[in-house]
Amino acid sequence: MVDIKRFRLRFVTDRKGKKKEVIMKVKDFEELLEDLNDMAIVAERRDEVKIPHKDLVKDLKQNGIL
């Protein structure tokens, strides 16, 4: 899960004090986009067949990958 508190965010507000825009470091923005992309991939793959780790390692060894 994304912990938004780790980013140093600044806000642009209108005359009534309502937040309208966010200012953040480009590096933080890129990290946030990467986290969101990772979560989208997890959601897409949620229903895929899972393979136990020991079976994966065994298969990789049998195929000469490990």
pLDDT tens across 12-35, in order?
999 999 999 999 999 999 999 999
The token pair that represents 21 in the structure block = 């825009």
This prediction's pTM? 0.64
DSSP 29-43: HHHHHHHHHHHHHHH
What pLDDT, on a 0 to 100 scale, did the predictor assign at position 42? 94
- Biggest CA pair distance of the chain: 67
Whether pLDDT at 62 is above 90: yes
Q: How far apart are CA 2 and CA 35, in angstroms?
A: 7
> So where are the chain's domains?
4-62
